[in-house]
Amino acid sequence: MIACLDLEGVLVPEIWINVSERTGIAALRRTTRDEPDYDKLMRGRLAVLAEHELGLADIQAVIGTMEPLDGAVAFLDWLRSHTQVIILSDTFVEFAQPLLRKLGWPTLFCNSLEVDGSGRITGYRLRIADGKRRAVEALRALNFRVVAAGDSYNDTTMLGAADAGILFCPPQNVIDDFPDFPVTRTYDDLRAAFVAGSAGELRP
């Protein structure tokens, strides 16, 4: 078995919401919990950053102050002691290092940014389209059982491709649009859902 987890909203707070709170720019609060179209969301973010002359260093400064969600490290330690774990995220390599360090350096598959010489973020590059789903499909093709957890619209294809998909602290709109996925609200509940979804491969 392999466990696949989203990063933001599952293990750490939402980066863009923290940037919004630090800068006072309300438009940056929108996340994949609000907008199903990731390209539309990112193009909007890049336009806002350009308008306010914010660069990569400004965002990295906010990320450096962020901590994992309460209970996330203990949950991740438990999960990694029982099975292999891969973090599947739509975040960017340029954002992730401080957060991975605080989580004990789990494996992360994510995307990358295009940054010019002045540090301005000019674009982004997906490693592959719908990468979360395709990673899960590839793991299942290698004969792994995959249990996955996420919280947002951009996690739902991953959850659907997994042997068992779990929503963790999702907003009501995601619950309403994807009623077939079980909903968990605490790490104890998420742990129990992973045990149930593992078909006996995980111990409580």
Alpha-helix runs per DSSP H in 122-171: 131-141, 156-161
Catalytic residue, from 6, 90, 94, 151: name it. Answer: 6
Report the Cα–Cα distance between both ends of the chain, in Å, rounded.
15
- Is 6 among the residues known to form the active site? yes
Per DSSP, the residues of 53-72 read: T--HHHHHHHHTT--PPTTH
Contact 77, 102 (CB under 8 A): no
For residue 91, give the nearest of 122, 69, 60 by alpha carbon.
60
CA angle 162, 86, 187 (to 5 degrees): 80
Tokens of 11: 């293990």
* Measured distance CA(1)–CA(165) in Å, rounded: 13
Contact 111, 91 (CB under 8 A): yes
Angle between helices 56-63 and 15-23 (to 10 degrees): 100
Catalytic residue, from 8, 14, 90, 94: name it. Answer: 8
CA angle 3, 76, 98 (to 5 degrees): 110
- Is 67 among the residues known to form the active site? no
Question: So which residues are the catalytic ones?
Answer: 6, 8
